[in-house]
Amino acid sequence: MANFIIIYHAATSYPSSPEEGKANQAKWMEWTRELGDAMINPGTPLGKSMMVSSDGVSETDTGLTGYTVVEAPDLDAAVEIAKGCPYLDMGAVEVAEMKSMGG
């Protein structure tokens, strides 16, 4: 089994009421419960970011809003997990395997 990161990209829609927000949160909690032990990190929101390079530091708008880490046997299985993510009601997600640095 490997770990996969599901990266949340900028939302294209948002809840239109507090009730809709609570319903979205309930879907999120249900999704994380359904995944059981496959859920490694249920979600970490991201704030403002800065780009750092050898040329210096600049503001950036990558559109990244958060991530989740799941365990799955392969990328296809991780993509199937991501297809059930409630964030898809608001925006897109990206899935990538988290590789070991070795050593």
CA gap 70, 7 in Å, rounded = 11
Half-sphere exposure of 6 (CA within 13 A, CB side): 29
Provide the whole-model pTM: 0.86
What pLDDT, in 10s, does the model give residues 11-57? 888 888 899 989 989 999 999 999 999 999 998 988 888 999 999 99
All structural domains of the chain: 2-49+60-97 (3.30.70.1060)
For the chain, give the mean pLDDT: 92
User: Could you report the per-residue pLDDT of 72-93, keeping only the tens digit for each?
Assistant: 999 999 999 999 999 998 899 9
Residues in the chain, overall count: 103
